[in-house]
C-alpha cells in the first residue's frame, strides 16, 4: 500500500507530461499553450492538485516541472498554470472530476464562431460515449480570471456534459475515472473526440448549404 502511495504522484506527473505532448502533436495546443491537472487524494483531509506549470514549453516538460497545490489555492511546489482558477472552480463544482485538461481546439472554436451546434449524435454512439449527451459553451471571457473559471464550472455543472467550448479561447474536458492517471487520458481523449466532432460538423454544414 505504501509503495502504491509513493508511486501514484510520479505516475500522475508523467501522465500530465504525456497529455501535453499528445495535445501538441495533435495540433490542439501551441508550444506554451494548454494546461492539465489531476487530483491526488493523499487523505480525506489532504487533497492535492497536480497541475502543469506556467510559461513552460509543454511538449518539453519533465515530471519534475509539475506544480502542486491544494483546492484552496495554496501552492506547495512549482509555479502553477495561469489557468489554475479554471481547474479549482471545476473541481469544486464537479465532485466526480478527477482530472481536467484545457486545450485550444481550433475547429471547435471555429464551429462555435460559425454558429454551429456541436451535436454529439452526429458521430453516433461513440461520440456520446466520450463526450456525454451535450457539449457545454462558455461565453468569451478573459483567460486566467475567476470570472472565466466560475462560468466554466457553471457550464459543466450539467453532469450530462464532460466538455465545454470556451468561446474564442479553446475547450476544457474533465476525466472522471477514479484512477487520476486514467482520468487524465480520459480528458485528453474527450478533447480529441470534440475536435473530430467539430470537423465533422463544419463539413456537414458545407455539404448541406
Catalytic residue numbers, as ranges: 83
- As a three-state string, the secondary structure of the chain is CHHHHHHHHHHHHHHHHHHHHHHHHCCCCCCCCCEEEEEEECCCCCEEEEECECCCCHHHCCHHHCEEEECCCCEEECCECCCHHHHHHHHHHCCCCCEEEEECCHHHHHHHHCCCCCCHHHHCHHHHHHHECEEEEECCCCCCCHHHHHHHHHHCCCCCEEEEEECCCEEEEEECCCCHHHHHHHHHHHHHHHHHHHHHHHHHHHHCC
Amino acid at each position: 500500500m505504501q509503495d502504491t502511495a509513493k508511486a501514484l504522484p510520479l505516475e500522475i506527473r508523467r501522465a500530465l507530461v504525456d497529455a501535453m505532448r499528445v495535445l501538441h502533436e495533435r495540433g490542439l495546443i501551441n508550444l506554451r499553450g494548454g494546461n492539465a491537472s489531476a487530483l491526488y487524494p493523499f487523505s480525506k483531509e489532504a487533497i492535492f492538485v497536480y497541475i502543469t506549470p506556467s510559461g513552460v514549453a509543454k511538449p518539453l516538460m519533465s515530471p519534475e516541472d509539475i506544480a502542486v497545490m491544494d483546492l484552496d489555492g495554496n501552492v506547495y511546489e512549482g509555479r502553477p498554470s495561469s489557468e489554475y482558477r479554471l481547474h479549482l472552480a471545476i473541481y469544486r463544482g464537479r465532485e466526480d472530476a478527477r482530472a481536467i485538461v484545457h486545450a485550444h481546439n481550433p475547429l471547435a472554436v471555429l464551429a462555435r464562431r460559425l454558429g454551429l451546434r456541436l451535436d454529439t449524435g452526429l458521430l453516433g454512439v461513440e461520440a456520446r460515449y466520450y463526450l456525454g449527451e451535450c457539449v457545454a459553451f462558455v461565453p468569451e471571457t478573459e483567460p486566467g480570471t475567476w470570472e472565466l473559471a466560475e462560468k466554466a464550472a457553471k457550464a459543466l455543472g450539467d453532469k450530462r456534459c464532460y466538455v465545454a467550448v470556451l468561446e474564442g479561447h479553446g475547450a476544457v474536458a474533465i476525466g472522471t475515472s477514479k484512477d487520476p492517471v486514467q482520468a487524465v487520458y480520459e480528458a485528453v481523449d474527450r478533447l480529441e473526440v470534440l475536435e473530430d466532432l467539430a470537423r465533422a460538423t463544419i463539413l456537414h454544414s458545407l455539404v448541406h448549404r
